[in-house]
Structure 1
Amino acid sequence: MLRRETGVFYLLLLAFLALVARLAFIQLAMGPQLAAAALAEVSRAVPLEDITRGDILDRRLRPLTGSYQEQRIVVFPDLLAHPALDAAVLAPLVGKSPGLLAGQLAGPPHRLPYTVDLTVERVVSDLGERGLIVATVTFRNGPGALAVHLTGYLGPPQDRAEAAGVLPGGPDLVGLSGLEAYYNQVLADHAARRSAREYVDAQGRPTGIVEVDATDRDPARRNLVLTIDAGVQRTVEEIMDQYVPKGAVVVLDAATGDVLAAASRPTFDPRRLASYLGSGAAGNVFVDRATALFPPGSVFKVVVAAAALDEGLVTPDSTFYDRGAAATPIPDWYKPGFGLIDFAHAFAE
Structure 2
Amino acid sequence: MSQPSISSKRRLLFIFTAVSLVLFGLIIRLGWIQIVRGEKYKELANRYQTRDIPIPAKRGVIYDRNGKELAISASTNTVWVHPNEVDEPEKTAAVLSSILELDEETVLKKIKTSQYIVKIAPYIDDERAKAIRAERLKGISVSEDNKRFYPYGNFAAYILGHTTDDNKGMAGIELEYEKYLSGIPGRWIKNTDGAGRQLSFSTEKYHQAENGLNVVLTIDEVIQHFAEKAVQNALEVNKAKRVSVIVTDVKTGEVLAMAVKPDYDPNSPRTPIDEELKKQIETMDQEKQLEAWYAMWRNPVINDTYEPGSTFKLLTTAAALEEGVVTPQSTFVDNGYIMVAGQRIRCWRWYNPHGHQTLVEAVQNSCNPVFVELGQKMGVETFYNYLDGFGVSDITGIDLPGERKSLMYSINNVGPVELATISFGQSISVTPIQLVNAVAAIANDGKLMKPRIVKELTDDDGNVVHRFEETMIRQVISEKTSKTMREMMEAVVADGSGSHAYIPGYRVGGKTGTAQKVVGKGYAQGLYVSSFVGIAPADDPKLAILAIVDEPQGFSTYGSTTAAPIVKEVLEETLRYLDIKPKYTDKEEEEFGRAKVTIPEVRNITVKEASKILIDNNLQFNTEPEYYADENAIVVDMFPKPGANVPEKSIILLYTKPNENIPSTVEVPDLKGKTIKEVNIILNNLGLKLKISGSGLASSQYPEVGTTVETGTIISVEFKPE
Deviation readout 1:141-196 (Å, 9 max, x if unpaired): 869466555567889xxxxxxxxxxxxxxx9x788x8666765665565x326x6x
TM norm structure 1: 0.52
Does the CA contact (< 8 Å) of 1:324 and 1:338 recur in 2?
Answer: no
Partner of 1:88: 94
Residue matched to 1:200: 191
Residues 227 and 117 of structure 1, relative CA distance in 2, 3 Å threshold: same
| Aligned twin of 1:321 | 335
Counterpart CA distance in 2 for 1:328 and 1:279 is 45
Bigger relative contact order (CA 8 A; separation at least 6):
1
Q: CA deviation at 1:117?
A: 3.6
Q: Label 1:329 to 1:227 Cα distance change in 2 as closer, same or farther (>3 A).
A: farther
1:33-72 superposed matches below 5 A: 43-48=51-56, 56-61=62-67, 64=70, 70-72=76-78
Deviation of the 1:85 alpha carbon: 3.2
Q: Are the aligned partners of 2:82 and 2:117 in contact in 1 as well (CA < 8 Å)?
A: yes
Who is 1:137 aligned against? 145
Cα shift readout 1:171-229 (whole Å, capped 9, x = no counterpart): 9x788x8666765665565x326x6x46225x9995459x9x893448xx544322113
SS of the residue 1:129 aligns to = coil
Structure 1 segment 1-349 matched on structure 2, within 5 A: 43-48=51-56, 56-61=62-67, 64=70, 70-80=76-86, 82-107=88-113, 108-113=116-121, 115-129=123-137, 131-140=139-148, 144=153, 147=156, 149-150=158-159, 186=180, 191-192=184-185, 197=188, 199-200=190-191, 206-208=196-198, 215-217=208-210, 221-230=212-221, 232-233=223-224, 236-237=227-228, 239-244=230-235, 245-252=241-248, 258-264=254-260, 282=295, 285-289=298-302, 295=308, 297-298=310-311, 311-313=328-330, 320-323=334-337, 334=348, 337-341=350-354, 343=361, 347-348=496-497
Structure 2, gaps ≥5 residues long: 1-48, 236-240, 271-285, 322-326, 356-360, 367-495, 498-559, 561-722
How far residue 123 of structure 1 moved from its aligned partner, in angstroms, is: 1.9
Deviations 1:237-273 (A, max 9, x none): 4543453443532234689774321234565788559
1:257-313, CA deviations, whole angstroms, 9 ceiling, x for partnerless residues?
7432123456578855976765698599444259968647348659969x9xx9444
> Which SS does the other structure have where 1:340 is aligned?
coil
SS in 1 for 2:353: strand
SS at match of 1:111: strand
1:249–1:290 CA contact under 8 A, matched in 2? no
Q: Please tell me whether the aligned partners of residues 74 and 112 of structure 1 are also in contact (alpha carbons under 8 angstroms).
A: yes
**For 1:113, what is the secondary structure of its paired residue?**
strand
Give the drift of 1:102.
Answer: 3.0
Report the AA paired with residue 191 of structure 2. V
| Identity over aligned pairs, percent | 19
Counterparts in 2 of 1:102 and 1:150: CA distance versus 1, 3 Å:
closer
Looking at structure 1, the residues matched to 61 and 344 of structure 2 have their Cα atoms a distance apart, in angstroms, of 44
Tell me how far apart the structure 1 counterparts of residues 133 and 101 of structure 2 sit (CA, whole Å): 19
Q: Is the radius of gyration larger for structure 1 or structure 2?
A: 2
Q: CA deviation at 1:79?
A: 4.5
Q: Could you tell me the TM-score, scaled by structure 2's length? A: 0.29
Distance change (3 Å), C-alpha of 1:109 and 1:332: farther
- Do the aligned residues in 2 keep the contact of 1:199 with 1:207 (CA within 8 Å)? no
Number of aligned residues:
277
AA in 2 matched with 1:125: R
Is the Cα contact below 8 Å between 2:64 and 2:216 reproduced in 1? yes
> How far did 1:131 drift?
3.9
